[in-house]
């Protein structure tokens, strides 16, 4: 009985992990198979004909993959930097400063969490079109500059920072900005790591918004680029398509593995999931 | 450096409650003044107002004669030691102690990481380093300079917090219950060290505590606070020997003062359960009152108040006897018995105790002290 109790959680978790990882495995498997085997349902890892080199070469040469990656990088970093630069002071003020209307503002932040991007897509698109900003990096980044999720996450984490340290810093002559960035954020690095992973993964993988505001293939981030790619190929070569998908997923996996420990600390500490 | 601290008409309210009601307090240069009281009496709020962390609703704060009521905390040149020590967790001990100096002597650019090293003048950095090492030496923490706060014990963190406070020679030191997180033995030790530090620096100390022993042992003067007011301001012996109110009498002294209900007769004489005590109250104060007698003023006598002994408590040189007056079982009385006294006292014994009337304190119904003088009769 004790043995069962010991193994049961692992069994359940293992099943969960299997379900989550299966699509990635399938993607990778397809990317090394030849067209003849693509629709084979077998999960056997070694294909009869090893087409990895062909598929990956094709994915890398058919479309400007490096260009897509660079676009993705520019968009993700641009969004992340502005999000952190705006959300950290806002969260600090909401968590640690006393001013009238603080509770109301915090309520608005939480309420804003409930508004999906799709609801705002049309007005944002019209606005960007009027300003003649469609087909720019800015158009892809602008709607995400102010992240209420980031404000909320940092607020949760900053709240637990000891008030006495902030007061000691005020007596020592720190400015509020130095306290905010140099002490409080410093004490919440796991949250910063967690948020960075959330933000970068979400915007790296975002297809919806770039598809709306970008038609120029030179500005396309990876998922949109893949879409152009499959159009070019009329969806015929799944092996190469999956090779492309594997290529654009890899940076995110690396990014998560690097920040993994902080990421987990960040979400468990702040009670955000 | 020693500066006076003057508070005039300080008032502060949170919501509907008045936490501080019109406080006037003048701290002399170089004085060790303690603010004591129960939790919620407003002592911490008062300290935070002096520090500038809290703005008073009314009144003014002056340091060294200059009005600082509107100044930011950092412009007041005060150092504060917090109950939780409030060390910067990501900095080493050395950086922690250096921070108040870096913030004052270095420009914003030279405080930035990386670029700062180029912008800061080597001369200033050398001076800062020297001051840090001196402060560390004063508090015997030189060997800890390269550790992080998380690697230190409570007592060591306390010393780092003190070093960080004294490194920049502030106008006055503010301490908010700095010893309350230490264990009893270390607390007693740090009490001595703090008192010695105060003597050596000659600086103004304002010390908040709820522990009357700390206040009694270290202070030049004590301001005892209750419900947002200063009940009594005076030297430790003044507060002990002449408590101005019942609250002060209750708060000061271990064991607590013995309090018994008495009746002031129209002719002024004070009686306890119908027995005259040899004490008379001045003025027209007839009615119920409270009599306070310290444990060391009570002694066993051949006759006097009958007392049933409950238990005795040995404290090395002293023994304390706890018992109840026979006349009223609900009234506990504690008195001190010198260990040298050749008296065997056992539980459930009935003994007789008395006290010299001139050592008794009489308080009226409103808790204020009543003038009283011994009559010629022998204490009952």
What is the token pair recorded at B13?
Answer: 């309210």
Chain A neighbors of B105, CB-CB under 8 A:
none
Substitution target in B52, B63, B86, B175 with the highest count of A β-carbons within 10 Å is: B86
Nearest Cα of chain A lies from the Cα of B7 at a distance, in angstroms, of 19
Contact B88 A170 (CB under 8 A): no
B304 membership: H or E segment, kind and range: strand B299-315
Given 1.20.140.10, 3.40.50.300, 2.40.50.140, 3.20.20.140, which CATH number is that of B255-374?
Answer: 2.40.50.140
Q: How many CB pairs lie under 8 A apart between chains A and B?
A: 49
List chain B residues with CB under 8 Å of A169: 88
Apex A181 CA angle, A102 and A100, nearest 5: 15
At the topology level, CATH places domain B5-246 in Rossmann fold (3.40.50)
B121-169 confidence digits (pLDDT tens): 788 888 899 999 999 998 899 999 999 999 999 889 999 999 999 898 8
Of B74, B84, B90, the CB nearest to A170: B74
- Closest Cβ–Cβ partner in A171, A174, A186 for B80: A171
Domains detected in chain A: 62-270 (1.10.3720.10)
Write the pLDDT tens digit of every residue in A174-207.
Answer: 999 999 999 999 988 888 988 998 999 999 999 9
Burial class (CB in 10 A: 0-12, 13-18, 19+), A250: exposed
Q: With an 8 Å Cβ cutoff, are A164 and B83 in contact?
A: yes
Residue scoring higher pLDDT (B278 or B57): B57
Those residues of chain B whose CB sits closer than 8 Å to some CB in chain A are 51-53, 72-74, 78-80, 82-84, 86-90, 99-100, 103-104, 111
Q: Which residue of B has its CA nearest to A97?
A: B53
- Over the stretch B9-60, which tens digit does the pLDDT of each residue have? 999 988 778 889 999 999 999 999 999 999 889 999 999 999 999 999 999 9
Whether residue B3 has pLDDT greater than 60:
yes
* Interface probe, candidates B55, B68, B83, B88, chain A, greatest A C-beta count within 10 A: B88
DSSP letters of B329-371? TT-EEEEEEETTS-----TT-EEEEE--GGG-EEE-TTSBEE-
Asked if A167 lies within 8 A of B78 by C-beta distance, the reply is no
Alpha carbon distances (Å) from B267 to A230, B279, B280, B288, B291? 111, 11, 8, 14, 17
Residues from chain B contacting residue A171 (CB–CB below 8 Å): 51-53, 73-74, 78-80
Instruction: Spell out which residues of chain B touch residue A167, defining contact as CB-CB under 8 Å.
Output: 51, 53, 73, 80, 82, 86
- Reference B147, options B90, B230, B68; nearest CA is B90
Residue-wise pLDDT for A128-146, tens only, equals 999 999 999 999 999 999 9
The reply to whether residue B82 touches residue A167, judged by beta carbons under 8 angstroms, is yes
- Residue ranges of E strands in B196-286: 204-209, 221-226, 229-234, 258-264, 269-272, 275-281
Contacts of A77 (CB under 8 A, 6+ apart): none
Question: How is A123-166 classified by DSSP, letter by letter?
Answer: HHHHHHHHTT-SSSHHHHHGGGSS-HHHHHHHHHHHHTS-HHHH
The residues near A163 (Cβ < 8 Å, ≥ 6 apart) are A96
Q: Where are the domains of chain B?
A: 5-246, 255-374
Q: Chain A residue with minimal CA distance to B73?
A: A171
Helix, strand or coil, per DSSP, at residue B151: helix
- Residue B71 Cα to chain centre, angstroms: 27
Prediction ipTM score = 0.83
Residues 6+ apart with CB under 8 A from B37: B43, B210, B224, B225, B226, B231, B251
The strand pairing partners of B207, in sequence order, are: B34, B175
């Amino acid at each position: 009985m004790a043995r069962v109790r010991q193994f049961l959680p692992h069994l359940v978790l293992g099943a969960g992990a299997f379900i989550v990882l299966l699509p990635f495995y399938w993607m990778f498997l397809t990317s090394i198979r030849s067209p003849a085997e693509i629709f084979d349902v077998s999960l056997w890892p070694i294909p009869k004909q090893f087409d990895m080199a062909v598929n990956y070469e094709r994915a890398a040469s058919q479309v400007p993959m490096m260009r897509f990656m660079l676009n993705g990088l520019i968009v993700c970093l641009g969004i992340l930097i502005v999000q952190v630069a705006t959300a950290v002071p806002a969260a600090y003020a909401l968590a640690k400063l006393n001013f009238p209307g603080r509770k109301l503002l915090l309520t608005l932040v939480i309420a804003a969490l409930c508004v999906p991007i799709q609801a705002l897509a049309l007005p944002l698109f019209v606005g960007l079109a009027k300003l003649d900003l469609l087909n720019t990096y800015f158009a892809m980044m602008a709607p995400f500059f102010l992240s209420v999720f980031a404000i909320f996450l940092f607020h949760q984490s900053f709240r637990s920072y000891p008030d006495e340290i902030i007061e000691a810093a005020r007596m020592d002559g720190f400015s509020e900005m130095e306290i905010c960035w140099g002490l409080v954020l410093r004490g919440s690095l796991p949250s910063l790591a967690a948020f960075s992973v959330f933000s970068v993964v979400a915007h790296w993988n975002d297809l919806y918004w770039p598809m709306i505001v970008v038609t120029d293939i030179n500005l396309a981030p990876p998922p949109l680029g893949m879409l152009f790619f499959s159009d070019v190929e009329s969806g015929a070569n799944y092996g190469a398509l999956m090779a492309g998908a594997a290529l654009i997923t890899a940076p995110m996996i690396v990014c998560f593995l690097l920040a993994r420990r902080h990421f987990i600390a960040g979400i468990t500490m702040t009670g955000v999931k | 450096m020693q500066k006076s601290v003057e508070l005039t008409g300080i008032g502060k309210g949170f919501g509907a409650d008045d936490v501080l009601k019109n406080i006037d307090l003048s701290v002399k240069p170089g004085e060790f003044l303690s603010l004591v009281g129960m939790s919620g009496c407003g002592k911490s709020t008062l300290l935070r107002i002096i520090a500038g962390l809290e703005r008073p609703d009314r009144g003014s704060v002056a340091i060294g004669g200059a009005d600082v009521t509107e100044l930011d905390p950092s412009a007041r040149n005060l150092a504060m030691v917090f109950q939780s020590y409030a060390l910067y967790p990501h900095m080493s001990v050395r950086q922690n102690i250096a921070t108040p100096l870096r913030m004052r002597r270095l420009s914003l650019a030279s405080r930035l990481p990386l670029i700062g090293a180029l912008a800061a003048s080597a001369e200033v950095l050398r001076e800062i380093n020297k001051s840090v090492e001196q402060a560390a030496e004063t508090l015997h923490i030189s060997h800890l300079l390269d550790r992080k706060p998380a690697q230190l014990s409570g007592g060591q963190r306390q010393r780092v917090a003190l070093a960080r406070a004294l490194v920049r020679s502030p106008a006055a030191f503010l301490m908010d219950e700095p010893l309350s997180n230490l264990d009893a033995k270390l607390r007693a030790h740090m009490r001595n060290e703090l008192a010695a530090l105060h003597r050596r620096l000659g600086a103004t100390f304002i010390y908040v505590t709820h522990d009357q022993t700390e206040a009694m042992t270290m202070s030049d003067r004590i301001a005892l606070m209750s419900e947002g007011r200063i009940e009594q301001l005076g030297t430790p012996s003044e507060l002990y020997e002449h408590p101005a109110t019942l609250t002060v009498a209750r708060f000061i002294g271990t064991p607590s003062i013995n309090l018994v209900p008495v009746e002031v007769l129209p002719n002024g004489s004070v009686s306890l359960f119908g027995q005259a005590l040899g004490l008379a109250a001045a003025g027209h104060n007839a009615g119920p009152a409270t009599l306070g007698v310290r444990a060391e003023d009570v002694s066993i006598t051949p006759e006097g108040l009958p007392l049933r002994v409950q238990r005795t408590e040995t404290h090395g040189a002293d023994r304390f006897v706890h018992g109840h007056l026979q006349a009223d079982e609900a009234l506990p009385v504690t008195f001190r018995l010198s260990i040298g006294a050749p008296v065997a006292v056992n539980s459930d014994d009935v003994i007789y105790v008395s006290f010299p009337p001139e050592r008794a304190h009489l308080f009226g119904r409103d808790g204020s002290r009543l003038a009283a003088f011994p009559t010629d009769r022998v204490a009952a």
